[in-house]
Amino acid sequence: MTDPQRYQLSQLQTLEAEAIFIIREVVAEFERPVLLFSGGKDSIVMLRLAEKAFYPARVPFPVMHVDTGHNFDEVLAFRDRRAEELGVQLLVASVQEAIDNGSVTEPPDGTRNRIQTPVLLDALEKHRFTAIFGGARRDEDKARAKERIFSFRDDFGQWDPKNQRPELWSLYNGRIHEGESIRVFPLSNWTELDIWQYVQQESIELPSIYYAHDREVFERRGMLFGVHPVCQPRDGEEVEVRRVRYRTVGDASLTAAVESDADTVEKVIDEVATTRITERGATRGDDKFSEAAMEDRKREGYF
């Protein structure tokens, strides 16, 4: 007699199967997909899922990074090495180049997250991508919690949260007209803890800054920022060496570290399982400017 227990999937197996189904569905349905790949943990997991979705063939679409010019060196080195190992085409849309040619203007405070959006939209139009994979999860931010897995963007790359397509019974509507596109979020139903448990299960390598290490930091608006060429302490901000790690990586001028002794994946999982603050709430200075900061940027075309 067949043992029904043998056919039960774990939580991670269920999430993996859903994500792989979505990735394959997009490749079957869209002419020009691309995966946004920053070298952060979510996009690294996305790339791992894409690798498994088409194994033993290569990942059948390029990856693209919108490089602000303010990234952590460890993350950029990892990004380049991982793309080369997998043999996938890496496209880089440079915010610095956009500033130099006058298509965007750097804000007076020197932060660049906001001006990533026009650079992203220009790159998508240049390469005529119709489906853009992103590693966003619903547990990250309330604006991201509103997103569908297939998230429609109009011909200006903009998102209208009040005009989303239904996804009953996991049926995804990918119909678009010329100039329109779909953002696709296969990790929507994952949590930060799921990501780390999957990293452990698959023995996935991550950039070293995700693990506890000694670093020169200073405190600003209640967060710890690492000393970096684009993030220097101001008058009254004292620099000290603390044991920290990063829960998320992005623009070094806006991404904060957290104090931690978690220097292994097992310790990080224990830490994430007990924290009561989301990773973006704990580490992203740009999301603290207003309650609707993320939704405002997503309406403009941010990923």
- Give the containing element (helix H, strand E) for 303: none
Contact 44, 15 (CB under 8 A): no
Number of H helices, E strands in the chain: 10, 10
CA-CA distance, 196 to 202, in Å (whole number)?
A: 10
Query: Can you say how many angstroms the Cα of residue 76 is from the centroid of all Cα atoms in its chain?
Result: 14
45: which 2 tokens? 């997991």
Q: Is 222 left (phi over 0), alpha (psi -120 to 50) or beta?
A: left
Collapse the DSSP code of 239 into the 3-class scheme (helix H, G, I; strand E, B; otherwise coil) and give the result: coil
Q: Which amino acid would we find at residue 203? A: S
pLDDT in tens, the chain (303 residues): 556 667 788 999 999 999 999 999 999 999 999 999 999 999 999 999 999 999 999 999 999 999 999 999 999 999 999 999 999 999 999 999 999 999 999 888 878 888 889 999 999 999 999 999 999 999 888 778 888 999 999 988 888 888 889 999 989 999 999 999 999 999 999 999 999 999 999 999 999 999 999 999 999 988 999 999 999 999 999 999 999 999 998 888 889 999 999 999 999 999 999 988 878 766 665 555 555 667 777 777 776
Q: Which amino acid would we find at residue 253? A: S
Cβ neighbours of residue 18 closer than 8 Å, sequence gap 6 or more: 170, 186, 189
Q: Based on C-alpha coordinates, what's the Rg of the chain?
A: 19
Phi, psi of 97 (to 5 degrees): -65, -35
What does DSSP assign to residue 8? P
Interior angle at CA 298, CA 294 and CA 301, nearest 5:
145
